Amino acid sequence: MSSGKPLHAMSDPTAWSMSDAARALKARQLSADELLQSCLQRIAQWQPQINAFVALEAAPEARMTTRAAQTPDSGANDQPLRGIPLAHKDM
């Protein structure tokens, strides 16, 4: 982890860098669903104050995390963002 602390020392995965979250997913220290749920909780906490999201589609994202967890890892680093939740900014 870039902070030098072990992943379990920082209990909130939404505070981790994307690289740290990806490493935790690959090492199975965290599931994609756990990461998604943490992100959704953070969004629910802050959305009323900052109104950052026009639409939130958690159900399709949840299906994708389930599929990612069930798909065997090839061992190659060909999917470095596998299991990482993504938000798109409208332009």
User: What is the enclosing helix (H) or strand (E) of 19?
Assistant: helix 18-26
What does the pLDDT read at residue 1? 46
What does the pLDDT read at residue 75? 61
By C-alpha distance, which of 72, 87, 85, 86 is closest to 26? 72
What does the pLDDT read at residue 34? 92
Q: Under a CB-based contact definition with an 8 Å cutoff, are residues 38 and 32 in contact? A: no
Question: Residue 73, CB half-sphere, CA atoms under 13 Å: how many?
Answer: 14
Stated pTM of the model: 0.74
* Positive/negative CA dihedral, 41, 47, 49, 50: positive
Q: Under a CB-based contact definition with an 8 Å cutoff, are residues 53 and 87 in contact? A: yes
| Run means of pLDDT, 10 residues per run, the chain, 91 residues | 53 92 90 91 94 85 71 67 83 62
Q: What is the pLDDT of residues 66-79, one digit of tens each?
A: 776 666 666 655 68
Q: What is the DSSP string of 44-67?
A: HHHHHHH---S---HHHHHHHHHH
